[in-house]
């Protein structure tokens, strides 16, 4: 009788370790969207988790804008102490579309519930003092003082972007290229479970100058300019001065002069009105 080979267990199944729920809760409570470790791996543990109710509805891609659209941005740890990396890895497996078959369904549901509860709440760690190893940007305020901003990277956002880009059809000429960053040194998992997602940032070419688009955006944000046209205004001033010089510094009030003055002022007003009509997409007068 020929011996049959037993099916090999997946790597995830072999490495699965049973942890009590409180271990998952403890690690999940410290997971963050933004980590100081992504800026400097030698910086003390520092990170921020954005609450689900802190989303922003803006026309850009970021952690807070994705939350508004219901996109789950993966969380990451700020310190790899003890079994942190293993616990977080198993949480990701439990939340994946293909969880390990050997893990009881009830246990998977418990882990999923713990992760979901942690993801909706806000959390901060190590934000009382800013480490000298982290960059700071000083932004001027209206009162003459400055606001210090400390940029933090998000490995979870990088993971979402990479997944989205991988699903897009290939383009003949992509609008971006990739760079290479040595994130995490020889042991990236000490920085974060998803830090490898940050190693190939996107580089975009500088946009081409489009005067018409720039003008449209200027009108949208600032409105149209109501300043009288300089040439017509200069001509009108020269005409007034010529009349004053010819009549001993007194403006004559004949019917012809009044009509000429009305025509000149009307021409100036017409230009300003036409600007408004063009801005609103109407035909000029």
Give a yes or no: residue 1 inside a domain: no
pLDDT at 116: 93
Determine, yes or no, domain membership for 158: yes
32: which strand partners?
76
The tokens of 39 are what? 């800026």
**Based on the domain organization, do 88 and 15 belong to the same domain?**
yes
Is residue 114, in this structure, part of any structural domain at all? yes
Q: How far apart are CA 8 and CA 230, in angstroms?
A: 83
Clarify whether residues 120 and 218 are in a common domain: no
171 domain-assigned: no
- Of 5-14, 207-216, 266-275, where does mean pLDDT reach its minimum? 5-14
Q: Do 34 and 156 belong together in one domain?
A: yes
- 61 assigned to some structural domain: yes
198 and 241, same domain (yes or no): no
Same domain, 215 and 144: no
Per-residue confidence (pLDDT) for residue 4, from 0 to 100: 45
Are residues 261 and 152 part of one domain?
no
Q: Average pLDDT for residues 65-84, to the nearest whole number?
A: 91
On whether the CB atoms of residues 64 and 51 are closer than 8 A, the answer is: no
- The answer to whether residue 189 sits within a structural domain is yes
Residue 284 covered by a domain: no
Query: Is residue 136 located within the same domain as residue 230?
Result: no
pLDDT value, residue 7 = 47
pLDDT in tens, 219-270: 788 877 778 889 999 999 999 999 999 888 889 889 999 999 999 999 999 9
pLDDT value for 198: 93
255-279 and 230-246 helices cross at what angle (nearest 10)?
170
Residue ranges of alpha helices (H) inside the chain are 11-15, 21-28, 63-68, 84-95, 105-119, 155-167, 211-222, 230-246, 255-279
**What integer pLDDT is reported at residue 3 of this predicted model?**
45
Q: pLDDT at residue 12 above 70?
A: no
Do 33 and 142 sit in the same domain of this protein?
yes
185 and 96 inside one domain: yes
Dihedral of the CA atoms 208, 211, 215, 220 (nearest 10)?
-20
For the entire predicted model, the pTM comes to 0.67
How many other CB atoms sit within 10 Å of the CB of residue 271? 15
pLDDT tens for residues 83-120? 999 999 999 999 988 888 889 999 999 999 999 999 99
pLDDT of residue 206: 81
* pLDDT computed for residue 234 by the predictor: 93
State the virtual CA torsion across 51, 52, 56, 61 in degrees, nearest 10.
90
More confident residue, 160 or 2: 160
**Burial class of residue 197 (count of CB atoms within 10 Å of its CB; 0-12, 13-18, 19+):** buried
**Which has the closest alpha carbon to 17: 114, 82, 96, 83?**
83
Q: How many domains does the chain have?
A: 2
Q: Are 201 and 181 in contact (CB under 8 A)?
A: yes
For the chain, the average pLDDT equals: 87
Range of the domain at 91: 11-165+179-204
Do both 161 and 123 map to the same domain?
yes
User: Does the structure show a pLDDT above 50 at 127?
Assistant: yes
């Amino acid at each position: 009788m020929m011996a049959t080979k037993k099916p090999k267990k997946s790597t995830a199944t072999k490495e699965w370790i049973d942890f009590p729920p409180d271990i998952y809760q403890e690690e999940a409570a410290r997971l963050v969207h933004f980590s100081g470790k992504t800026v400097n791996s030698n910086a003390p543990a520092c990170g921020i988790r954005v609450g689900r109710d802190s989303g922003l509805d803006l026309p850009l891609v970021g952690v807070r804008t994705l939350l508004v659209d219901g996109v789950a941005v993966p969380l990451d740890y700020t310190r790899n102490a003890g079994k942190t990396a293993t616990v977080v890895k198993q949480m990701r497996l439990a939340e994946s579309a293909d969880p390990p078959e050997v893990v009881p369904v009830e246990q998977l549901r418990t882990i999923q519930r713990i992760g979901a509860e942690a993801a909706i709440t806000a959390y901060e760690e190590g934000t009382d003092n800013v480490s000298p190893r982290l960059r700071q940007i000083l932004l001027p305020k209206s009162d003459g003082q400055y606001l210090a901003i400390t940029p933090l990277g998000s490995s979870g956002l990088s993971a979402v972007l990479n997944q989205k880009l991988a699903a897009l059809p290939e383009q003949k000429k992509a609008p971006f290229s990739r760079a290479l960053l040595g994130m995490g040194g020889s042991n990236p998992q000490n920085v974060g479970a998803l830090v490898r997602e940050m190693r190939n940032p996107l580089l975009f070419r500088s946009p081409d100058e489009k005067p018409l688009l720039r003008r449209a955006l200027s009108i949208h944000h600032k409105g149209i300019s109501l300043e009288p046209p300089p040439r017509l205004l200069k001509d009108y001033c020269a005409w007034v001065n010529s009349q004053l010089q010819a009549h001993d510094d007194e403006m004559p009030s004949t019917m012809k002069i009044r009509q000429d003055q009305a025509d000149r002022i009307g021409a100036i007003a017409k230009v300003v009105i036409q600007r408004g009509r063009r801005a609103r997409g109407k035909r000029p007068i």
